[in-house]
Amino acid sequence: MKAKIPIIKARLLERFPNPHTALHHNNAYELLVAVILSAQCTDARVNTITPALFALYPTLSHLAQASLDTLKACIKSVSYPNNKAKHLIGMAKEVGARFAGQIPNTQADLKSLPGVGQKSANVLLSVYFQQNYLAVDTHVFRVSHRLGLSHAKTPLQTERELSALFEDDLGFWHHALIAMGRTLCRARAPQCSVCFLADLCENKKTSDTKAKCNKI
């Protein structure tokens, strides 16, 4: 498997030379809010609501004092707005109380905040704090399994396997795999016939590639 990594890296780098998060943000606070909102929701949807949200709550202290009903109304178009509104207010209060109003920059501290799991923590650490972390979302999970880079059953196990394979610049490869999943290696109707990694894809070894791809 490791023999495929240099080839995959080179091709991903050629196709996606500057992959980056699609979530619009200006600082760590805005990115953390956007990441919490993006759970089981598209980045595009989150980007439609954050401008008004940040205009109303420009800082953590403003968010900590938010009315739950008002906040829920602001984010009603995302998935699970009730839970996310509670998480956002709780997150803002805890950052103020426990971290002097500064977004923490360690995985353990981030995961201790409401609404922040390992995937969300890793996104913030890699994107904003430039630390060597890889987050496994649905795109990364799907692409890495189709390519045979991981056969793990869970995102956390997949993260460990991919981190061991890619080793460095994990944030870059995280976004490159996401770009791959959004453009070619889609959940439905993957573009196998024009994929630049088709010769390395384990799904290509079957006689019914499209059918198998669509199951992942």
Is 119 considered catalytic here? yes
Q: Tell me the three state secondary structure of residue 65.
A: coil
Structure tokens at 156: 């956390």
- Among 43, 84, 93, 119, which one carries the catalytic annotation? 119
Burial degree of 119 (CB within 10 A; 0-12, 13-18, 19+)? buried
Tokens 């196998």 correspond to what residue? 192
Q: Is 109 an active-site residue?
A: no
Kindly name the residue from 93, 137, 153, 199 that is annotated as catalytic: 137
Residue 113 CA to residue 60 CA, distance in Å, equals 13
Q: Residue 52 carries which side chain, given as an amino acid letter?
A: A
How many helices and strands (H and E) does the chain possess? 12, 0
Residues labelled catalytic: 119, 137
